[in-house]
Amino acid sequence: MNLFLSLDFSLPLSDNILKFAVILVVILVAPIILNKLKIPALLGLIIAGAFIGPNGFNLIERDSNVQVLGAAGLLYILFLAGLEVDMGDFKKNSKKSLIFGLLTFLIPITAGSLAGHYILNFSWPASILLGSLFASHTLIIYPLISKLGLAKLTAVNVSVGGTVITDTLALLVLAVIVAMTTGEITGMFWVQMIISIIIFGVVVMYGFPIIGRWFLKTFNDSVTQYIFILIMVYLGAVLAEVAGIEGIIGAFLAGLALNRLIPHTSPLMNRIDFVGNALFIPFFLIGVGMLIDYRAFISSSDAIVVAIVMTIIATASKYIAAYLTGRILKFNKDEVLVMFGLSNAQAAATLAAVLVAYNVIIGYSDVNSYVGIRHSSHRIHTNDNVPLSFLTLNRYGYPIIGSEVMIYDEVANGEYVMPDNRIITIDEGVITRIQKPDRLLDSSVLNGSILMILVTCTIASLVGQRGANNLALREMEGQSTGGDEGGVEERILIAINDESHADNLVNLALAIKSKVSQSEIIALNVIDKTDKDEVAEKVSAKILHAASNVATAADTELTELMRYDIVPINAINNVINENHISDVILSLHNQKGFSDSFFGNLTEGLLQNNLVTTIISKFTQPIGTIQNHHVVMPPNAERELGFSKWVIRVWNIARNTGAQIYFYGTSETLAYLKKVNEKHPIESHFTEFSDWQDFLILSREIKANDSLIIILSRKSGVSYSYHMDKIPNYLNKYFKRVTFTIIYPMQTSFAESSRSLTQGDLINSIEKLDEIGKTLASLVKSNK
């Protein structure tokens, strides 16, 4: 009981454990309650922050702990945005992003500057700076868009790219205006700024991938990898600030730089996303809410007028920019709403800019009373933590000139700077002068900005969520047409005989599976039937448990199977038949490669008895660190029944890992793939190649951090060539240090081999499996 009473429950809470517990309760409860009121969770956390903050019930101060975690959340939002960008779409849409970025910068800054000067009577520097606040925006609803599976939507990609442009320009305006105000603008200022930004961009975009690829190849520990990623986020932010721009730009560029190294389906990506959305981002949103001071709107009408003007200008100008971009780029209504929702929320960059401008003091002016910090005991502290006690106050409870002061520390009388930068001059224990700082943007703009943030975040969340829900519903309806409601089930079997292979095999399975299908991953380990001791079972269980851990870290279910058989291939065949497997993945030892016995068992035992898509891989590095995949296809590859299915697998690898794909094949095969790429773009290159006698010439194309994907065929397949029998020897001899994958496309039995590719349930299944399958099926039908 005494221990309980020893806790200090006075407000604001001072005990760190209590404070953290309260914030965690808010993170848990606020979204649940406000969701029932149809208020988005993101907005709910901002409102909750206002309630528990110093201007609400004063439960928690916005102290250094909240600010540190909030700063991490701010960086996290931009980092995740960069990390989840589809680089192929990002490059393809760069011109579209430029259009939106310029419109969503020029329209708000122009309107804001005019309103600031002619309506609010600000100086031109302050007005231009005010306009830059409207131009910048924060992707505060991006986590919502991502959860709905719309992160790769063109309108979203354009919005993210436009954010980089407009925020960079807005923050550059901030830097220039502040430098002009403080008298730092010289010829060297422009030279230093341009050079530092160029150096910063080169270091992040070219240096970070090199460092990241080496680290992720060298260290496999999950905690170590996550801490490394977190360091890179902060390093990008620090380098941005050194270059003279805001840290959030550095965090976004760090996400772009590491984009290709962190597959979207990987356990590492799942950890990054989980920690950010569970902890850092909510802390940031709660911290923003804590800044809201409703009393400022009661005591002064200036803040209300400024807030109304700021909110109207910011909202109207952002909608006009999104609307014009939609008309130019021919986006539909819901895509325009999503763009407006993403760009209307004024939070991160706006908050950073207004705080910087608020802290720029351009002079001082005399006032009669100190109207800053006050306490019921009449006691306040200076910036140097010198406690002052005002013995006499005016009728409003504020100290005035002539009031007596008690100074608790033994210091000389003179000037004392308050935490809000007011200066109090004390002579012989009496206040003789009070000066307030004249700021580049005053407190009315600061409080108005907070209200604008609240309103714009509300509008952005509601409007953006409406557009995103409509788009997600439309996408789901499109996926469910033309077949059974249940969709197609993918069952991917990975046969593991070594614990060291578990990580690579599971990550490959995660990379190839289609996002819209009901995917199931099964891990199989085969124990020699003659070896029924406990040690063998424990080893097998350990291998399967390692695979299960990798899948669990990626938030994916994995079924563990342990089988006894004298011949492992027989066990694999039985599992394929019993579980209706669609794909089977095998691995080779990264040192030994193909052995004669393995290739013989593969050909006679597996390929002849089972006709599913068969994938054999040898890994020399994690799949996420591979820069380019070189896919070699035989003549007539497009005539194979399993053509669509392996193309979907390769496309998924490109989309989930961000790697570039180089296709080598005949003009007929490449024509199909080029048409698919027009509708479902990935970063790809196409080269005609048909002479498999000269297969080794491809070794010149394979560089460090590249992989080789070879499409072979069973002997009954239409694309089979006797040259394929030499491939295993070539790989063992000339590609020892290269990560390679061999794919045998799905086949049909001899009795069914004469069926057309456009007939039967299989094509319907492929069409339902993935949007790429639909495209391929339609191409085959059109070329029938």
pLDDT tens-digit profile of 768-777? Answer: 445 555 666 6
Q: For the chain, what percent of residues have pLDDT higher than 90?
A: 12
Q: Give mean pLDDT, residues 4-28.
A: 76
Instruction: Map 675-694 to HEC letters.
Output: HHHHHCCCCEEEEECCCHHH
Instruction: Map 181-226 to HEC letters.
Output: HCCCCCHHHHHHHHHHHHHHHHHHHHHHHHHHHHHHHHCCCHHHHH
271, 278 contact by CB (below 8 A): no
**Res 595: pLDDT:** 59
Tell me which of 188 and 463 has the higher pLDDT.
463
Q: 324-333, 339-348, 465-474, 716-725 — which one is most confidently predicted on average?
A: 324-333
Residue 532's Cβ-side half-sphere holds a number of Cα atoms within 13 Å equal to: 6
629 CB contacts (<8 Å, ≥6 apart)?
650, 653, 654, 659, 660, 661, 662, 706, 707, 708, 709
**Res 632: pLDDT:** 93
CA geometry: angle at 758 spanning 756 and 762, to 5°? 100
Task: Give the C-alpha separation, 257 to 511, whole Å.
Answer: 20
**Res 597: pLDDT:** 55
Sign of the dihedral through C-alpha 153, 155, 157, 163: negative
Q: Give mean pLDDT, residues 334-339.
A: 89
385, 419 contact by CB (below 8 A): no
Q: pLDDT class for 17, splitting at 50, 70, 90? A: confident
**First-to-last C-alpha distance (Å) of the chain:** 84
Looking at the predicted structure, is the pLDDT value of residue 323 above 90? yes
Q: Take residue 482 and report the two structure tokens written for it.
A: 């033309």
**Res 601: pLDDT:** 62
- DSSP three-state, residue 489: strand
Task: Give the C-alpha separation, 161 to 342, whole Å.
Answer: 11
In tens, the pLDDT along 580-610 reads 888 999 888 665 656 555 665 666 677 777 8
**Res 318: pLDDT:** 92
Looking at the predicted structure, is the pLDDT value of residue 687 above 50? yes
Looking at the predicted structure, is the pLDDT value of residue 763 above 50? no
354 CA to centre of own chain: 26
132, 109 contact by CB (below 8 A): yes
**Res 752: pLDDT:** 41
Looking at the predicted structure, is the pLDDT value of residue 487 above 50? no
Give buried/exposed letters for 485-495 (b at 16+ CB in 10 A, else e): eebbebbbbbb
In tens, the pLDDT along 495-550 reads 888 888 888 899 899 888 876 555 788 999 888 777 667 788 888 889 888 888 88
**Res 108: pLDDT:** 92
Strands 684-688 and 660-665: parallel
Please give the helix or strand (H or E) that residue 616 lies within, else none. strand 613-618
In which residue are the tokens 């809470």 written?
A: 13
Looking at the predicted structure, is the pLDDT value of residue 244 above 70? yes
Q: Please confirm whether the linkage preceding 12 is cis (ω < 30° from 0).
A: yes
Q: 104-108, 554-558, 750-754 — which one is most confidently predicted on average?
A: 104-108
Residue 688, Cβ density class (10 Å: 0-12 exposed, 13-18 middle, ≥19 buried): exposed
Looking at the predicted structure, is the pLDDT value of residue 442 above 90? no
Tell me which of 600 and 468 has the higher pLDDT.
468
**Res 7: pLDDT:** 60
Mean pLDDT score of the chain:
80
Q: 190-199, 228-237, 246-255, 410-419 — which one is most confidently predicted on average?
A: 228-237
Q: Name the β-bridge partners of 687.
A: 664
Q: Give mean pLDDT, residues 468-480.
A: 71
**Res 516: pLDDT:** 57
Q: pLDDT class for 253, splitting at 50, 70, 90? A: confident
